[in-house]
Amino acid sequence: MECEMETNERNAKPASADNLLQWSQWQLIDSILPTGGFAHSFGLEAAMQARIVSGPEGLETYVIHVLENTGSLLLPFVYAATKSPNLDMWSKLDRTLEATLTNEVSRKASISQGSALLRISASVFSEVPSLKRMRDDLLGSRTVSFHHAPVFGVVCGLLGFDSGTSQRAYVFMTMRDVISSATRLNLIGPLGASVLQHQIAYVAEEIVKKWMDRPIEEACQTAPLLDTVQGCHSYLFSRLFCS
């Protein structure tokens, strides 16, 4: 009987730890985590002023293209960082993405959000001390830029995400943020935004499946027009978002 009780206790501890870990995983993708994602429109504001997007139908196409670009260019970095969440791998991925991003606006947005995510994760997820060590070791360093996709992948890996979930979470957050920016730009109402997000989810899943588990050597842009439009954001006379 005593042996059986000890076995049950041992089995209960990992289950309890896993349950607690899920709370941290949910918090990572919660919009309340102040990583600065809502300060960026992913080029939507510039696209509206250029009349590329002028209504809900154009918005749906734009969001899908943003997700396609996210899947083709950034998911390989999320995947690699999630699979090997260590300092050496992350530094290599960060330097590679720094060399890959030629759009100054999106590059600065990536660095801003990545820096914020690592700072907040190191403070919030205290049960993962390696996050704080990583930030302390690299704070003030000029060898890394703290791009968002590799940072997100590392945090996901350390919080116990599998690579498939981390990649879906990254695409989900991109979809959420760009549709949220459309709401604040009065392009669509809150209810319409929720309906649109649910409808696009089916397309988003196909995009994730298409680009999932790719090596970083295959990272590419599939919708270069969006990259060009986002690069024009800094030239707007009046703007609400940072990018």
CATH of the domain at 164: 1.10.4190
Which pTM was predicted?
A: 0.89
Residue 148 lies in a domain: yes
Residue whose structure tokens are 């730890």: 17
Residue 17 lies in a domain: no
Residue whose structure tokens are 């549709």: 179
Q: Which of 51, 57, 49 is nearest to 188 (CA)?
A: 57
Residue 47 lies in a domain: no
Q: What single-letter amino acid sits at 11?
A: N
Query: Which long-range contacts link 199-205 to residues 24+ away (Cβ below 8 Å)?
Result: 199/60, 200/60, 200/63, 200/64, 200/67, 200/175, 201/175, 203/64, 203/67, 204/67, 204/171, 204/172, 204/175, 205/168
Q: What value does the mean pLDDT take over residues 203-221?
A: 95
Element (DSSP H or E) covering residue 38: none
Owning domain of residue 180? 55-233
Residue 13 lies in a domain: no
Residue 141 lies in a domain: yes
Q: For the residues of 62-111, what is the DSSP string, one character each?
A: HHHHHHHHIIIIIHHHHHHHHHS-SHHHHHHHHHHHHHH---HHHHHHHH
Q: Are 237 and 35 in contact (CB under 8 A)?
A: no
Please report, for residues 7, 79, 110, 116, 146, the alpha-carbon distance to residue 85 in angstroms, rounded to integers and kept in the order given.
32, 10, 19, 18, 14
User: Does the pLDDT at position 75 exceed 50?
Assistant: yes
Residue 93 lies in a domain: yes
Residue 153 lies in a domain: yes
pLDDT in tens, 28-52: 888 877 777 778 889 999 999 989 9
User: Does the pLDDT at position 77 exceed 80?
Assistant: yes
pLDDT in tens, 119-165: 998 888 888 888 888 888 777 677 788 999 999 999 999 998 999 99
CA distance 21 to 18: 5
Residue 39 lies in a domain: no
Number of domains in the chain: 1
